[in-house]
Structure 1
Amino acid sequence: MRQLYPDLWQTSLERPVPGEPKAAAHAYLLIRDGGNVLFYNTGREASGKPGEDDDLRKIEELGGIAHQLLGHWHEASPSLSKIKQLFGSTLAVHERDAEAVEREAGTTPDLTFTSRHTFLDNVEVIPTPGHTHGSTAFLYRSPHGRTYLFTGDTIVPSKDSWLAAGFEDDPGQPNLRQSLELLRGLEPDVVLAAGALGDQTFKEVSRTEWQAAVDAAAASLR
């Protein structure tokens, strides 16, 4: 794991897509009063390699996990059960992705959400359907001065540009396009995707850079 900001840590690099060596994934641990939050999932590879539990040991040193928030069901794996058992954390996902999470991970989400709202006092839940039916972004305004936007796989970095991908029943991607337009109106300082094509899954952005990123992602759908 590595520390990105005073209250935010990134888990080790994973390659979760078979046959796609450029696809990268990380989870992010937010250190906060009221309980730490893990965005996305870690340990999905279940490689059995020595040291694969290093992240979980470091997370324990940092105060553990109170809540784990998934951006979409593609992040689900049996490691979700392991994390719940180790830390007693609650697992939350959009209602429309809950059944798929249970199927893929063998564990039932503790909490589900359906609409945009503030969760845990200071984490904004923003449904962004299109990549999956229950894709969700999360916005957090850090007391250390930056605003973090966790976009799941709705919009991801790709080399020097950004991509968006719709996989589930969304012909022509109207839902995903609306979600991108919603995200375009936000003002993050740091955008942290669940994955990327390349090793860099997060980027610092200005307002203009973020709008250009969303425009590039929307153009990638054409």
Structure 2
Amino acid sequence: MTQIRSLFATRLYQASLSDHGKIDTAELEASCYSIADDDEAGQEWCEANGYPGYTSYASLTDLPWRFPIFADLVTALDAHVAAFARDLEFDLGDRGLVLEDIWINILPEGGSHGSHIHPHSVISGTTYVAMPGGTSALKLEDPRLPMMMAAPTRNRECREELKSFIYVTPEAGEVLLWESWLRHEVPMNMAEDDRISVSFNYRWD
């Protein structure tokens, strides 16, 4: 009897942020712009490093302290991450997954964010604040890709679990979570308006 199984799953969590607490996305968007306008160090870092738009990744580490809306956001994210950890069946022992860092991303028309992973953390993710029509999806890469040197390409309409790349276009108010070793990128924003998101890492502590 022939049996074919799918092994070594890569899990992707997608949910409405409001499943674990009400977050005012309009207030969150206004707060992102307010912080970006005031963060001269972040603006200088973006300019020096050729980063399109704005990110607070290299400049601010205290967003939940600066604006109460971010403290509320972290409370909701904690619950989402806990739910994802249960799905992953992690044995965390007497330690938990705690927020390591959280940062704002404002990507204007023509901006992109190259392929990368998030070392030194366990779960990473993004919650989406503004996703204008035509903006870029999140591109996720099969982590086995470097080992497929001689493999033929897949059929264009192959099953999702067999694709080399997956594109996910979340809506504003949604959150995506993945294990931090999963390589991902944000292709060029083709929309005229800003693509705004808040990204974060959780470590095992």
Superposition TM-score, scaled by structure 1 size: 0.26
Bigger radius of gyration among the two: 2
